Amino acid sequence: MIAHFPNEMTTKWKMDQTGKIKERIAKARAITVLTGAGISADSGIPTFRGEVGLWRNFRAEDLATPGAFARNPRLVWEWYDWRRGIIASKSPNAGHQALVEMEKRCPRFTLITQNVDGFHALAGNRNIVELHGNIWKVRCTQCGQVSVNRDVPIQILPYCKPASGGCGGLLRPHIVWFGEALDSRDIEKSMAALQSCDLMLVIGTSGVVWPAASFAEVAKSSGAYVVEVNLDPSAHSIVVDEVLLGRASEALPRLLS
Ligand code: OAD
């Protein structure tokens, strides 16, 4: 079922739908949430697809693959430094805050995010799987050590500091690039949460990047009720039980009110 938020004609149905989902949230013993770039869009962080998405103006092949980094690490770092600057100047919005409240109310709550901005942790969520990594973490290409680096701008190129016990190797963003495998522990934790939840929310993701694109189906086939919150219908919309069309920063607080 699909309902549009701002449409007056569907006001009654919209309220019915909202009420139904609110009840599901209140009764759920285990909620698993999957978020994508759409939840941070209202904070002013660009999404990837759509008319003003990052992949409209940049080629992922040049910036977000191991090959791109091997060819031109400076260019890749400059792009991530630009994105770090944008994220550092923004903050989590009411949609992120609503998920913090949801975690407080629900006995078992897992938040799987494809976002690398770190906003869910900043907002206050605890049980988070950062499926695609975190833009504030760096990883040494030589020794593999992962560390937090919040410098804006970051030194380009950054190296694993020998003065702090590092090996001197070149650092890369701790982000899963196209063509790379996800951390198997993140997949295991996600699968366990998807297969054991009674309610799943899919928020602000286009549903075209695997394996996250399959998560709604995993939860549904394991018996969960699945609700999508998105500005527009997505690849998930035919799989889920309810599609709530609207901005995450408006729709999510309403579901918790
Ligand atoms: P996309 O940019 O593909 O999709 C963003 C989704 O958010 C779309 O479905 C929009 O309709 C929706 N949206 C936009 N604004 C919204 C709002 N205010 N409220 C609710 N929904 C809104 O982003 P992702 O699906 O997250 O991977 O992309 C998945 C992955 O592809 C990213 O993690 C990234 C990218 O390449 C890596 O960088 C590894």
pLDDT per residue over 137-148, tens digit each? 999 999 999 999
Alpha-carbon distances, residue 67 vs 61, 71, 72, 221, 243 (angstroms): 8, 6, 9, 37, 38
Are residues 243 and 228 in contact, defined by beta-carbon separation less than 8 angstroms?
Answer: yes
Task: Kindly indicate whether the domain formed by 46-89+135-175 is annotated with CATH number 3.40.50.300.
Answer: no
Identify any residues that bridge with 199 across adjacent strands, giving them in sequence order. Answer: 31, 225
Q: Count the helix, strand and coil residues of the chain and give each as a percent rounded to the nearest 5.
A: 40, 20, 40
Q: Is 96 tagged catalytic?
A: no
pLDDT, tens only, 97-116:
999 999 999 999 999 999 99
Yes or no: say if 171 and 158 are a contact pair by the CB < 8 Å rule. Answer: yes
Inter-axis angle of helices 248-256 and 94-105, nearest 10: 30
Q: Best substitution site from 114, 119, 178 to test ligand 1's pocket, by max atoms within 8 Å of Cβ?
A: 114
Ligand 1 site, residue 209, Cβ cutoff 6 A? yes
- In the structure, what pLDDT confidence band is assigned to residue 83 with cuts at 50, 70 and 90? very high
Q: What is the residue extent of each domain of the chain?
A: 1-44+91-132+182-257, 46-89+135-175
Q: How far apart are CA 211 and CA 26, in angstroms?
A: 29
The superfamily (CATH) of domain 1-44+91-132+182-257 is TPP-binding domain (3.40.50.1220)
